[in-house]
């Protein structure tokens, strides 16, 4: 769970920067780029890298493709680019499939993540899977700019086949209930997403508050001591987080929502 530990640290550092007046203005943050420029734009070199991703018209494609096996679906990408692109799969959280050519990043498909532009939802028997696209800025001065732009645009072939092969539904993401409920403990009052209330249990022992789902521990908040990843202080005591291995996306989402608890704790005068 290295990614989540890093996320905890980022939150703690961001709070510290804010409290110390050392944070950067948010206007300097990088924007999510357009996921697929049109070929006309690519040819003219005027692609708008900040526009929303283009969504293809869903018609049966006659383009010859090659297949890329992934955890959620077989991706089909134009065969003419098979020797030009490199596909890297990050089997982490979120599950990400990245495309590049000659070390030039083109785009990434993000499954059940929050990065990038929302495209649609794959309907699966074991639960719906959201799909997003992160597109990269292409150097218009590159000798192969037009090729790279065409490769980026051809993400639409993948989406087209996902629609016909797996029922990818293009549209707005489902709204997620972001309400929270209150958990009173002897160590602190915690707030955790309401949607998990019936699926998690909370136990307190000594200086630790542990969240579990069934027999699976998710994470522990440690108020005082050195065990876990430090994220700040609360009532003068170091606050650390311990997380545990989980086996499903739902459990991983429950675990990651420790950040909701941290968000509310940061607003507490004891933090």
Mean confidence (pLDDT) of the chain: 80
Q: What is the mean pLDDT of residues 228-252?
A: 90
Residue 54 has pLDDT above 70, yes or no: no
pLDDT band for position 133 (cuts 50, 70, 90) = very high
Q: Is the pLDDT of residue 33 over 70?
A: no
- Give the per-residue pLDDT at 242: 95
Q: Provide the pLDDT for residue 3.
A: 39
Residue 90 contacts residue 128 (beta carbons within 8 Å)? no
Position 11 pLDDT exceeds 90: no
pLDDT at residue 244, as a whole number: 94
Confidence of residue 17 (pLDDT cuts 50, 70, 90): very low
CA dist 99 and 25 (Å) reads 31
- Which residue did the predictor score with more confidence, 23 or 137? 137
Range scoring the smallest mean pLDDT among 21-30, 54-63, 141-150, 232-241: 21-30
pLDDT, mean of residues 231-256? 89
Each residue's pLDDT tens digit, 97-110: 999 999 999 999 99
Cβ-based neighbours of 179, under 8 Å, separated by 6 or more: 193, 194, 195
Q: Which residue has the higher pLDDT, 269 or 218?
A: 218
Predicted confidence at residue 15, as pLDDT, reads 42
Q: What are the distances in angstroms from CA 86 to CA 14, 89, 165, 234?
A: 34, 10, 23, 47
Three-class DSSP category at 148: helix
Q: Can you give the pLDDT at residue 32?
A: 32
Task: Please report the pLDDT score of residue 217 as a whole number.
Answer: 96
Strand 216-223 relative to strand 208-213, pairing: antiparallel
Which of 61-75, 116-130, 181-195 has the lowest average pLDDT?
A: 116-130
Supply the pLDDT for residue 169: 84
pTM (global) more than 0.75: no
- pLDDT beyond 80 at 208: yes
Q: Between β-strands 201-205 and 208-213, what pairing exists: parallel, antiparallel or unpaired?
A: antiparallel
Contact 240, 226 (CB under 8 A): yes
- C-alpha span between 201 and 215 (Å, rounded): 10
Chain centre distance of CA 58: 26
Q: How far is CA 70 from CA 25, 115, 138, in A?
A: 38, 19, 26
- CB of 133 within 8 A of CB of 109? yes
Dihedral angle at the C-alpha atoms of 62, 64, 70, 71, nearest 10 degrees?
30
Q: With 70 as the cut, is the pLDDT of residue 210 above it?
A: yes
């Amino acid at each position: 769970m290295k990614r989540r530990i890093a996320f905890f640290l980022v939150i703690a550092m961001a709070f510290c920067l804010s409290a110390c007046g050392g944070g950067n203005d948010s206007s300097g943050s990088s924007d999510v780029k357009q996921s697929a420029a049109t070929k006309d734009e690519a040819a003219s070199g005027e692609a708008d890298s900040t526009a929303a991703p283009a969504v293809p018209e869903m018609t049966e494609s006659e383009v010859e493709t090659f297949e890329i096996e992934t955890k959620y679906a077989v991706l089909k990408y134009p065969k003419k680019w098979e020797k030009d692109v490199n596909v890297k799969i990050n089997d982490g959280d979120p599950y990400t499939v990245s495309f590049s050519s000659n070390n030039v990043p083109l785009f990434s498909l993000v499954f059940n993540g929050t990065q990038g532009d929302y495209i649609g939802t794959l309907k699966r028997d074991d639960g719906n899977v959201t799909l997003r696209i992160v597109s990269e800025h292409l150097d218009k001065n590159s000798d192969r700019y037009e090729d790279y732009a065409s490769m980026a645009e051809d993400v639409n072939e993948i989406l087209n086949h996902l629609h016909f092969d797996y029922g990818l539904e293009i549209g707005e993401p489902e709204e997620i209930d972001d309400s929270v409920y209150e958990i009173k403990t002897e160590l602190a009052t915690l707030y955790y997403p309401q949607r998990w209330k019936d699926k998690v249990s909370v136990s307190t022992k000594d200086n630790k508050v542990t969240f579990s789902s069934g027999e699976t521990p998710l994470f522990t908040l440690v108020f005082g001591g050195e065990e876990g990843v430090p994220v700040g202080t609360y009532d003068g005591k170091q606050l650390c987080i311990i997380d545990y291995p989980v086996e499903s996306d739902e459990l991983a989402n429950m675990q990651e929502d420790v950040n909701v608890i941290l968000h509310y704790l940061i607003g507490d005068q004891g933090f």
